[in-house]
């Protein structure tokens, strides 16, 4: 958002020179208008607030009708203000009013959605087995789900694409009455009535005003004008958090068969649908979530009484806090001690790509679980090639050999050499493809569309071959014809077989689900990476969680691929990947911690999750990234979440809303975040925010960082400091022993990072970071904090 006082539209920058140019000044756009602290709306009803906002609009509009229709939303629990359609001149008039603090032009940024076994993998299922790659006999936290009462009466707000209420994952048998603290509603709409809320889905709202003001009326063939989900994304994320136990659940073709359940199966769900289809486009090409719609959803969620907000949404590049409505809304949510969990984004593995980096948000990356899906290919020469897929192979085709060809050998004339071999749209020659299996290479075009092209040309199946860039990172897709994906090495083997055999033939072997695969977890290549370029003193992401091929509930109005115009298959459960899937895993963990520790702050819950995270895989080695090298904190944050250990972290790094407010004051953005409190005269450095990790940008010689920890473990206990310092710098603590006498006691300490100049190889790049960690330890307690340091240029 662009703040104006007096405002100048970025698209009409020539207003200063041509103030009467009607084509610019008459154009209405969305503005956010915020008031100062003297016009607080906290004690007023929403109707009273709307009347007040209407009166302001009436003062700049020509008629009562114009004033009424221009008001999009009135906000009560987040910002103190409203969203309206205004001309630049009207925005200027409002900005000049004494009681108006600021007027922001809403940039037409398109936020988008970040799109069973996972809970057992982290040791959180009905049988309560220990974490499979940290069999810790010293764990004393007992039966976590039972202690948390399965999340009973904790309310989770889902800002997403809605919900499919008919799914068995959302039944309410055996659940108690709706919590008395709940103040929300269940809105009627297309194919969704208030009767479809129950004791599981206790509230449902939808937000269209911002969307329709930009794109026009919703096309109801593309989506429901209600909280009902026609996309699948919202249903999937909601069931990951709080889905009930559903036996014999599986994806298309029976893959991932087992019992589906959310991490907190008795938690309550409040649905806030703020994401909609892009007109005329297939859902797999993306969605749009308008700023003012999302802010209103957060505003309502705060007022409705949610305990946790799960937001698997982000922008396609990092946004400054003051321009990011998720950060703005989340800060107001944290003021009410609501835990806000967001996805890091799917723009990896490129650096500096992560979304939602605000320190009051838990930012979640995506990693794998110990489950694989195999669909091998058997060649006519007897050799079997490993392949991966979640595409069912018809039983009658499992033993039939078909001719095997390279895409580049069966293309139509005129295909450019640079486009050859990829099975791009309308490139294959049907006479050459009919009845054959085609090897299509990755590198250009969409994976699923390659299969559609083979199908169009009459092929009976296809193999998706990785190029060298993708290596062993083989995707699993629900294709429309029998298919499997192979690594680059295996693609070369198939190519060699085709080119050396006079009559190459192959068939697909039956697909199967394999559990306890190793190594796992490892980082997903798509998971967005740090460093945090909005504030290089806050290390992000915070943590990683399962986000690769996750089975969860699905809408029955969208096929498993979300390819609206092609996929008419109907599934009740679907396998999907993205940080959108990892985010609700951490949200569910936050629900359980909130249930066990109802007095903990949102910062304490984040700290417990971060400092107990696991950095090794189930082989005992460091977690790896897509290159098979050890993952660093800019990929995995503090590591893979471990809910059972987080329930008893020993110490927490606590922070209050006021700490975040002072942090924004020092950054000079408090007013831009629509905060009307007055900044104090004395401010700490931003890097002294009491965060459970440390990032130091452009270290020269030494830097001292202040921190404090609060005892939430045993009454009398002594912690000792340990550190793993890389050769480039040294990490020390003062004091290096912490003695606690009671639960709740807080002790301050400092961490000093000192450069070892002689060991620094890159002395000119301030974004070359080196990683270490420190921890406070007592027996089985290891309260661990990651450290990332870059250096200032020096000779």
Q: Which residues are catalytic?
A: 160, 233, 580
Which pairing describes strands 308-311 and 155-160: parallel, antiparallel, or unpaired? parallel
Residue 3 to residue 128: CA distance in whole angstroms: 51
- Cα gap 311→579, rounded to integer Å: 10
CA-to-CA separations, 491 to 386, 478, 486, 606, in angstroms, rounded? 10, 20, 6, 43
CA dist., res. 202 & res. 175, Å (int):
12
**Closest by Cα among 766, 762, 763, 782 to 774:** 782
Structural contact between residues 506 and 380, judged by C-beta atoms closer than 8 angstroms: yes
CA dist 766 and 792 (Å) reads 6
SS3 773: strand
| Spatial separation of the C-alpha atoms in residues 185 and 197, rounded to whole Å | 9
373, 389 contact by CB (below 8 A): yes
CA angle 654-659-665, nearest 5°? 155
Cβ pair 694, 638 in contact under 8 A: no
Burial of residue 45 (number of CB atoms within 10 Å: 0-12, 13-18, 19+): exposed
* Rounded Cα–Cα distance for residues 142 and 647 (Å): 10
Q: Which helix (H) or strand (E) covers residue 746, if one does? A: strand 746-755
Q: Which positions ≥6 away from 367 have C-beta within 8 Å?
A: 521, 522, 523, 524, 527, 544, 545, 546, 547, 548, 582, 623, 636, 640
**Residues 578 and 547 sit within 8 Å (Cβ to Cβ):** yes
Cα–Cα distance measured from residue 690 to residue 687, given in angstroms and rounded to the nearest whole number: 8
Contact 148, 588 (CB under 8 A): no
Q: How far apart are CA 115 and CA 128, in angstroms?
A: 29
Q: At what angle do helices 325-335 and 291-304 cross, to 10 degrees?
A: 10
Whether the CA torsion 157, 158, 162, 164 is positive or negative: it is: negative
How far apart CA 763 and CA 8 sit, in angstroms, is: 42
β-pair partners for 719: 738
- The pair of structure tokens assigned to 4 is 């104006």
Q: Where are the alpha helices (DSSP H) in 649-791?
A: 657-667
305 φψ region: left (φ > 0), alpha (ψ -120 to 50), beta (else): left
Identify each DSSP E strand in 238-386 by its residue range.
246-249, 258-260, 268-273, 275-277, 287-289, 308-311, 313-314, 339-343, 362-367, 371-374, 377-379, 384-385
> Which tokens sit at 590?
């936050």
385 and 370 Cβ atoms separated by less than 8 Å: no
Contacts 24+ apart (CB under 8 A), 485-488: 485/387, 485/388, 485/389, 485/447, 486/377, 486/385, 486/386, 486/387, 486/388, 487/386
Eight-class DSSP state of 397: G
Residues in the chain: 795
Cβ pair 666, 686 in contact under 8 A: yes
């Amino acid at each position: 958002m662009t703040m104006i006082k007096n405002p100048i539209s970025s698209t009409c920058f020539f207003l200063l020179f041509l103030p009467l140019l009607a084509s610019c000044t008459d154009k209405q756009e969305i503005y956010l208008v915020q008031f100062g602290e003297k016009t607080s709306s906290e004690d007023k009803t929403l109707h009273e607030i709307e009347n007040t906002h209407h009166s302001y609009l009436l003062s700049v509009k020509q008629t009562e009708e114009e004033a009424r229709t221009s008001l999009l939303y009135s906000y009560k629990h987040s910002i103190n203000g409203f969203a309206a359609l205004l001309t630049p001149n009207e925005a200027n008039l409002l900005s000049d009013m004494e009681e108006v603090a600021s007027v922001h032009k809403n940039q037409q940024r398109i936020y988008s959605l970040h799109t069973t076994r996972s809970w057992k993998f982290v040791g959180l299922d009905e049988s309560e087995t220990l974490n499979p790659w940290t069999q810790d006999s010293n764990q004393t936290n007992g039966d976590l789900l039972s202690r948390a009462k399965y999340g009973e009466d904790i309310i989770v707000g889902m800002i997403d694409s809605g919900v499919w209420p008919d799914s068995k994952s959302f039944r309410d048998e055996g659940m108690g009455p709706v919590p008395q603290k709940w103040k929300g509603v269940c809105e009627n709409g297309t194919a969704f009535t208030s009767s479809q809320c129950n004791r599981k889905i206790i509230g449902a709202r939808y937000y269209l005003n911002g969307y329709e003001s930009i794109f026009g009326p919703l096309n109801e063939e593309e989506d429901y004008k209600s909280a009902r989900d026609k996309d699948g994304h919202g249903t999937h994320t909601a069931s990951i958090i709080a889905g009930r136990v559903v036996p014999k659940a599986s994806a298309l073709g029976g893959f991932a068969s087992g019992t589906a359940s959310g991490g907190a199966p008795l938690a309550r769900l409040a649905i806030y649908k703020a994401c909609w289809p892009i007109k005329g486009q297939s859902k797999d090409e993306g969605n749009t979530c308008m700023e003012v719609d999302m802010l209103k959803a957060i505003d309502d969620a705060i007022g409705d009484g949610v305990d946790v907000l799960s937001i698997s949404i982000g922008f396609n590049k990092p946004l400054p806090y003051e321009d990011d409505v998720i950060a703005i809304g989340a800060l107001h949510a944290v003021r009410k001690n609501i835990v806000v969990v967001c996805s890091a984004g799917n723009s990896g593995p490129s650096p500096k790509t992560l979304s939602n980096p605000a320190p009051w948000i838990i930012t979640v990356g995506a990693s794998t679980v110990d489950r694989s899906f195999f669909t091998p290919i058997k060649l006519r020469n007897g050799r079997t090639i490993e392949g991966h897929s979640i595409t069912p192979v018809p039983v009658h085709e499992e033993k039939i050999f078909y001719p095997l060809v390279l895409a580049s050998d069966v293309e139509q004339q005129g295909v450019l050499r640079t486009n050859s071999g990829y099975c791009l749209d309308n490139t294959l020659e049907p006479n050459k493809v009919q009845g054959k299996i085609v090897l299509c290479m990755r590198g250009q075009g969409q994976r699923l569309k390659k299969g559609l092209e083979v199908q169009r040309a009459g092929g009976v199946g296809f193999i998706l071959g990785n190029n060298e860039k993708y290596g062993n990172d083989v995707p699993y897709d629900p294709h429309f014809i029998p298919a499997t994906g192979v690594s680059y090495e295996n693609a070369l083997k198939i190519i060699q077989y085709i080119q050396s055999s006079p009559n190459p033939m192959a068939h697909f072997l039956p697909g199967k689900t394999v559990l306890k695969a190793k190594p796992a977890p490892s980082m997903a290549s798509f998971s967005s990476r740090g460093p945090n370029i909005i504030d290089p003193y806050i290390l992000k992401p915070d943590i990683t969680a399962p986000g690769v091929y996750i089975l969860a509930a699905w809408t029955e109005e969208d096929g498993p691929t979300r390819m609206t115009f092609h996929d008419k298959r109907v599934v009740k459960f679907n396998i999907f990947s993205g940080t959108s899937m990892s985010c609700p895993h951490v949200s569910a963990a936050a629900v359980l911690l909130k249930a066990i520790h109802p007095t903990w702050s949102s910062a304490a819950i984040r700290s417990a999750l971060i400092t107990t995270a696991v950095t090794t895989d189930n082989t005992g080695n460091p977690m790896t990234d897509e290159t098979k090298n050890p993952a660093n904190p800019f990929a995995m944050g503090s590591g893979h979440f471990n809910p059972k250990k987080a329930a008893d972290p020993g110490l927490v790094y606590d922070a209050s809303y006021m700490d975040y407010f002072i942090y924004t004051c020092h950054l000079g953005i408090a007013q831009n975040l629509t905060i009307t409190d007055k900044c104090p005269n004395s401010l700490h450095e931003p890097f002294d925010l009491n965060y459970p990790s440390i990032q130091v940008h452009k270290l020269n010689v030494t830097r001292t960082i202040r921190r404090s920890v609060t005892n939430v473990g045993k009454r009398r206990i002594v912690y000792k400091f340990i550190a793993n310092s890389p050769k480039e710098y040294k990490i020390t603590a003062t004091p290096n022993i912490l003695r606690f006498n009671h639960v709740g006691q807080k002790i301050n300490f400092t961490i000093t990072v000192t450069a070892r100049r002689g060991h620094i190889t890159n002395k000119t790049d301030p974004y070359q970071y080196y990683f270490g960690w420190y921890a406070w330890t007592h027996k089985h307690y290891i309260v661990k904090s990651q450290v990332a340091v870059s250096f200032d240029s020096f000779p």
